[in-house]
Amino acid sequence: PARERTLDDRLRARGWTDDEIERAPGSWAVLGSVILVEMGDAPRPAECGAALLDLHHEADTVVDRDSIDGPHREPSVEVIAGTGDTAVVHREHGIAYAFDVRDVMFSPGNKAERARMGEVVEPGEEVLDMFAGIGYFSLPMAAGGAGVTAVERNPDAFRYLLENTRLNDLDDRIAPYRADCRDVAPRVAADRVVMGHYDAHEYLDVALDALVPGGVVHYHETTPVAVGLTRPIERLESAAARDRTIEVLDHHRVKSYSEGVDHLVVDARID
């Protein structure tokens, strides 16, 4: 949620000055029983965490998430208040996501995109999710009736992918592979390929090879705002240039990635 006045009130009641309140975090996410917040250089993290627990009675732990690093997107988190139990079951759009916030990332800002992926699929479609994580997109797409080949190479994330497939009763729709998607993609003929990774451009060649003619790719990229859609579309065109044509069907700004950089997704049909 956007900053709630009540957090300010609760911090003021704890003796925070206006200047300190100004530096308190402006937003946070409640994932199951954990509140995820980026404290940055905000003062008095433990007190701020306690104030957040006062606001959200469904939560029992607050973690400060610093950064998400490396190709496996591993989080760096620190418990700042509560019991310290960081395992959650987060429910969103009818899907249950079990994971531990210490082990794997979960982007609150991708919520609308997770819901959209559940809506774009047609029952019976074959989907290749090249960077499945814990099932962020695979689960809603399978719940929407698609058959999903879900590829994830990080063993921690893969463990949750298996757990979430069972938890959502989607074993008959999700084929999970603990592998590099470069190795799995050539064995797949997909109506739709999801590329939910910031290095997705390095994999466009195998993604397009896995798509049946007329199939759709959902291509993610972090793009400087000044460049806009030009770079993602150029990259798609140059990957398709060998022998295929592309039609851009849709595009969205998923979220702001950092100052001056957006996380974009482009939907393109490749003939």
From the CB of 203, what's the least distance to ligand SAM, in Å? 7
Report the residue from 120, 141, 181, 239 that binds ligand SAM according to the rule CB under 6 A: 181
The nearer residue to ligand SAM, 16 or 158, going by C-beta atoms, is 158
Secondary structure string (H, E, C) spanning the chain: CECCHHHHHHHHHCCCCHHHHHCCCCECEEECCEEEECCCCCCCHHHHHHHHHHHCCCCCEEEEEEEEECCCCEEEEEEEEECCCCEEEEEECCEEEEEECCCCCCCHHHHHHHHHHHHHCCCCCEEEECCCCCCCCHHHHHHCCCEEEEEECCHHHHHHHHHHHHHCCCCCCEEEEECCHHHHHHHCCEEEEEECCCCHHHHHHHHHHHEEEEEEEEEEEEEECCCCCHHHHHHHHHHHCCCCCEEEEEEEEEEEEECCEEEEEEEEEEC
Report the residue from 136, 160, 219, 257 that binds ligand SAM according to the rule CB under 6 A: 136
The nearer residue to ligand SAM, 147 or 176, going by C-beta atoms, is 176
Q: How many residues bind ligand SAM (CB under 6 A)?
A: 19
- Point out the residue whose Cβ comes nearest to ligand SAM: 196
Contact call for residue 219 and ligand SAM (CB under 6 A): no
Contact call for residue 131 and ligand SAM (CB under 6 A): yes
Report the residue from 7, 31, 80, 151 that binds ligand SAM according to the rule CB under 6 A: 151
Contact call for residue 102 and ligand SAM (CB under 6 A): no
Binding site for ligand SAM (CB under 6 A): 71-73, 107, 110, 131, 133, 136-137, 151-154, 157, 180-182, 196-197
